[in-house]
């Protein structure tokens, strides 16, 4: 079995103005303003995905939305729709730098330290207008975390802003992504947080050679020391320990209680993929209950505030009925799978079909871990380790335990062979069939 990479490593992300070619056509990424689309925007984008693409829409791990199957001929029409919605940036560089994630429940989260929506908006405006920052690597990203129920503590970003309590008043801590975790520099008032993040990005550019794809985590010890020495004098000292600052993300699906009789729903898309018809049905039900906006998350779960528990249940029922995930115990939530064939030319394997077949088997076994099914060693669906990885090569799957798609498989077989005796897969991770 040959495990040499058969894929092209890309150093940039697709955008609306800079689409990426894929097996099923161009991928056009649409970045929401501050992590939210209005319901009308979402419906317009879903219709545009059908009209100008193939109707497949991906929710991305950077909390964006991608329209697939666009052609060179249909791209201008799609651009017109995105521009009419006010979501098209003036230049590809200005678009690429608007790489910002914000806590999905910002402003409605009962446990948040601070509503960070204003900081997110100011940072997004600054990034789009500061031409000096457009030379940042296109994957260079920012996070604005409210420190609440759905914190983004587990997500990586080159520059992180996190609302904390340093004493009684909320302040904003700033941290840098390094090889050994977040390097917290200090804190500042919420009013100056966006400006400080932008200044930190400028200092990063001073210590990185022009035109490299170097990220914050690639900085040398000297580069990091320079950045610290420039930024720390203007920040307040942090008195909180790293555990308090770093926290853990909580990705909730289903009904979420926001307190004081308020509710939200979390709805996941299997493998991050939604179709025009699913979004149309979901949006129709939400509109009937007066829902105005949808919030995106890096977990590819859509969140929306809803007017009550019964509205939430009705919306979750519609979501489940059209093939979305509305139940936190759904085994599909534990499985990641790349698009595979025929969308991607790097494999002949129907990875997502195989993932659904495997999900149907999961409840029979004492296996509570995570699964990653990858058409090849590139591992597009998941860069972190999974408990069980099936990695494709030459029409078969290799089994990697507790690793990534780039790991060395212990054995390999066709999916049919692996599932003819499901014990082969689950025995590899020490799981037993329920009696
Ligand atoms: S991991 Fe999947 S989507 Fe990515 S290149 Fe390989 S086969 Fe294609």
Q: Which is more confidently placed, 212 or 301?
A: 301
Evaluate the omega torsion of the peptide bond into residue 201 and state whether it is cis, within 30 degrees of 0.
no
User: How do residues 420-430 score in pLDDT, each as one tens digit?
Assistant: 877 777 777 77
Q: Which residue has the tokens 């493998």?
A: 271
Q: How far is the CA of 344 from the centre of ligand 1 (A)?
A: 6
Residue 7 in domain: no
Which residues touch 284 (CB under 8 Å, ≥6 apart)?
none
pLDDT of residue 253: 94
Q: Identify which of 130, 160, 157 has the alpha carbon closest to the alpha carbon of residue 144.
A: 160
Quickly state the pLDDT bin for 172 (edges 50, 70, 90): very high
> Do 156 and 226 have their domain in common?
yes
Alpha-carbon span 113 to 98, nearest angstrom: 24
Which residues touch 213 (CB under 8 Å, ≥6 apart)?
11, 137, 139
Q: Which two tokens stand for residue 279?
A: 């979004």
Distances (CA, A) of 151 to 42, 196, 383, 391: 24, 21, 20, 31
Residue 205 in domain: yes
> Do 259 and 323 have their domain in common?
yes
Q: Which residue has the tokens 């990705």?
A: 251
Cβ–ligand 1 distance for 380 under 6 Å, the answer: yes
Cβ–ligand 1 distance for 278 under 6 Å, the answer: no
User: How do residues 78-99 score in pLDDT, each as one tens digit?
Assistant: 999 999 999 998 888 888 888 9
Tell me if 373 sits within 8 A of 388, measured CB to CB: no
Distances (CA, A) of 127 to 136, 197, 216: 10, 10, 17
User: How do residues 177-194 score in pLDDT, each as one tens digit?
Assistant: 999 999 999 999 999 999
Residue 13 in domain: no
Cβ–ligand 1 distance for 389 under 6 Å, the answer: no
> Do 140 and 83 have their domain in common?
no
Residue 432 in domain: no
Q: How far is the CA of 398 from the centre of ligand 1 (A)?
A: 15
Compute the average pLDDT of residues 230-247: 77
Q: What are phi and psi of 265, to 5 degrees?
A: -120, 145
**Domains contained in the chain, number:** 4
Atom 6 (ligand 1) nearest CA? 376
Last residue of a domain, one of 74, 91, 108: 91
Compute the average pLDDT of residues 143-150: 92
pLDDT at 67 over 80: yes
Q: Which residue has the tokens 């307190």?
A: 259
pLDDT of residue 6: 42
Alpha-carbon span 384 to 402, nearest angstrom: 10
Atom of ligand 1 nearest to the CA of 344: 8
Cβ–ligand 1 distance for 141 under 6 Å, the answer: no
> Do 239 and 120 have their domain in common?
yes
Last residue of a domain, one of 246, 269, 286: 246
Cβ–ligand 1 distance for 94 under 6 Å, the answer: no
Helix (H, G, I), strand (E, B) or coil at 263: strand
Weakest mean pLDDT among 29-43, 220-234, 355-369, 412-426: 412-426
> Do 107 and 242 have their domain in common?
yes
Residue 380 in domain: yes
Q: Which two tokens stand for residue 198?
A: 């932008």
Alpha-carbon span 225 to 227, nearest angstrom: 5
What is the 3-state composition of the chain as percent helix, strand, coil, each rounded to the nearest 5? 35, 25, 40
Cβ–ligand 1 distance for 374 under 6 Å, the answer: yes
Weakest mean pLDDT among 35-44, 145-154, 275-284: 145-154
Residue 2 in domain: no
Q: Which of 4, 342, 373, 376 to mutate to test ligand 1, by most ligand atoms within 8 A of the CB atom?
A: 376
Kind plus residue range of the DSSP H or E element containing 58? strand 56-59
Cβ–ligand 1 distance for 376 under 6 Å, the answer: yes
β-pairing, 65-70 with 386-393? unpaired
CATH of residue 35's domain is: 3.30.70.3340
DSSP state of 39: H
Which residues touch 313 (CB under 8 Å, ≥6 apart)?
255
Q: How far is the CA of 346 from the centre of ligand 1 (A)?
A: 6
Tell me if 91 sits within 8 A of 133, measured CB to CB: no
Q: How far is the CA of 340 from the centre of ligand 1 (A)?
A: 6
Q: Which of 344, 345, 391, 400 to mutate to test ligand 1, by most ligand atoms within 8 A of the CB atom?
A: 344
Q: How far is the CA of 57 from the centre of ligand 1 (A)?
A: 17
Longest dimension (CA), the chain: 64
> Do 413 and 282 have their domain in common?
no
> Do 182 and 235 have their domain in common?
yes
Cβ–ligand 1 distance for 272 under 6 Å, the answer: no
User: How do residues 266-320 score in pLDDT, each as one tens digit?
Assistant: 999 999 999 999 999 999 999 999 999 999 999 999 999 999 999 999 999 999 9
CATH of residue 293's domain is: 3.90.480.10
Tell me the average pLDDT of the chain. Answer: 90
CATH of residue 129's domain is: 3.30.413.10
> Do 238 and 284 have their domain in common?
no
User: How do residues 391-421 score in pLDDT, each as one tens digit?
Assistant: 999 999 999 999 999 999 988 899 998 888 7
Tell me if 103 sits within 8 A of 148, measured CB to CB: yes
Q: Which residue has the tokens 């690429």?
A: 96
Neighbours of 413 (CB within 10 A): 17
> Do 139 and 181 have their domain in common?
yes
Last residue of a domain, one of 277, 306, 330: 330
Cβ–ligand 1 distance for 7 under 6 Å, the answer: yes
Cβ–ligand 1 distance for 344 under 6 Å, the answer: yes
User: How do residues 345-404 score in pLDDT, each as one tens digit?
Assistant: 899 999 999 999 999 988 888 888 999 999 999 998 988 899 999 999 999 999 999 999
Cβ–ligand 1 distance for 396 under 6 Å, the answer: no
Q: How far is the CA of 217 from the centre of ligand 1 (A)?
A: 25
Q: Which two tokens stand for residue 44?
A: 């317009």
Q: How far is the CA of 166 from the centre of ligand 1 (A)?
A: 44
Cβ–ligand 1 distance for 340 under 6 Å, the answer: yes
pLDDT of residue 414: 92
Cβ–ligand 1 distance for 226 under 6 Å, the answer: no
Percent of the chain with pLDDT over 70: 94
Q: Identify which of 140, 179, 182 has the alpha carbon closest to the alpha carbon of residue 160.
A: 182
The residue segments making up the domain with residue 396 are: 332-427
Q: What are phi and psi of 197, to 5 degrees?
A: -60, -40
User: How do residues 325-344 score in pLDDT, each as one tens digit?
Assistant: 999 999 999 999 998 998 78
> Do 326 and 354 have their domain in common?
no
> Do 200 and 155 have their domain in common?
yes
pLDDT of residue 23: 78
Start-to-end CA distance of the chain, whole Å, equals 36
> Do 188 and 241 have their domain in common?
yes
Q: Identify which of 114, 85, 109, 89 has the alpha carbon closest to the alpha carbon of residue 99.
A: 89
Task: Give start and end residues of each alpha helix (H) in 208-323.
Answer: 221-231, 242-246, 276-288, 309-321
Neighbours of 409 (CB within 10 A): 21
Residue 192 in domain: yes
Residue 395 in domain: yes
Alpha-carbon span 276 to 42, nearest angstrom: 10
């Amino acid at each position: 079995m040959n495990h040499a990479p058969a894929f092209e490593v890309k150093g940039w992300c697709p955008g609306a103005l800079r689409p990426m070619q894929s097996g099923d056509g161009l991928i056009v990424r649409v970045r929401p303003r501050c992590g939210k689309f209005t319901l009308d925007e979402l419906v317009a984008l879903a219709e545009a995905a059908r009209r100008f693409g193939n109707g497949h829409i991906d929710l991305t791990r950077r909390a964006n939305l991608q329209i697939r199957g666009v052609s060179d001929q249909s791209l201008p029409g799609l651009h017109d729709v995105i521009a009419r919605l006010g979501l098209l940036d003036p230049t590809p560089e200005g678009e690429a730098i608007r790489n910002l994630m914000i806590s999905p429940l910002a402003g409605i989260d009962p446990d948040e330290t601070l509503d960070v929506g204003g900081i997110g908006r100011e940072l997004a405006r600054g990034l789009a207008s500061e031409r000096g920052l457009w030379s940042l690597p296109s994957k260079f990203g920012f996070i604005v975390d409210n420190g609440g129920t759905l914190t983004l503590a587990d997500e990586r970003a080159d520059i992180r802003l996190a609302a904390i309590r340093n004493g009684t008043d909320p302040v904003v801590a700033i941290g840098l992504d390094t090889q050994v975790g977040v390097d917290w520099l200090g804190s500042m008032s919420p009013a100056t947080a966006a400006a400080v993040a932008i200044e930190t990005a400028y200092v990063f550019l001073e210590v990185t050679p022009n035109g490299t794809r170097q990220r914050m985590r690639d900085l040398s010890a000297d580069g990091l020391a320079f950045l610290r020495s420039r930024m720390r004098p203007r920040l307040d000292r942090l008195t909180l320990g790293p555990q308090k600052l770093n926290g853990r993300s909580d990705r909730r699906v289903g009904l979420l209680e926001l307190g004081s009789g308020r509710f939200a729903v979390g709805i996941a898309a299997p493998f991050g993929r939604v179709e025009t018809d699913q979004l149309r049905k979901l949006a129709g039900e939400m509109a009937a209950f007066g829902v105005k906006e949808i919030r995106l998350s890096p977990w590819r779960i859509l969140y929306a505030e809803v007017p009550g528990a019964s509205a939430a249940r009705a919306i979750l029922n519609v979501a489940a009925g059209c093939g979305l995930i509305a139940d936190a115990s759904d085994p599909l939530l534990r499985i990641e799978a790349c698009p595979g064939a025929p969308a991607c030319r790097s494999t002949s394997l129907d990875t997502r079909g195989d993932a659904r077949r495997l999900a149907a088997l999961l409840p029979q076994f004492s296996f509570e871990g995570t699964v990653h099914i990858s058409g090849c060693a590139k591992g597009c669906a998941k860069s972190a380790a999974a408990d069980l990885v099936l990695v494709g090569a030459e029409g078969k799957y290799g089994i990697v335990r507790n690793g990534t798609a780039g790991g060395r498989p212990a054995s390999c077989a066709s999916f049919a062979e692996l599932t003819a005796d499901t014990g082969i897969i689950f025995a590899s991770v020490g799981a037993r069939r329920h009696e």
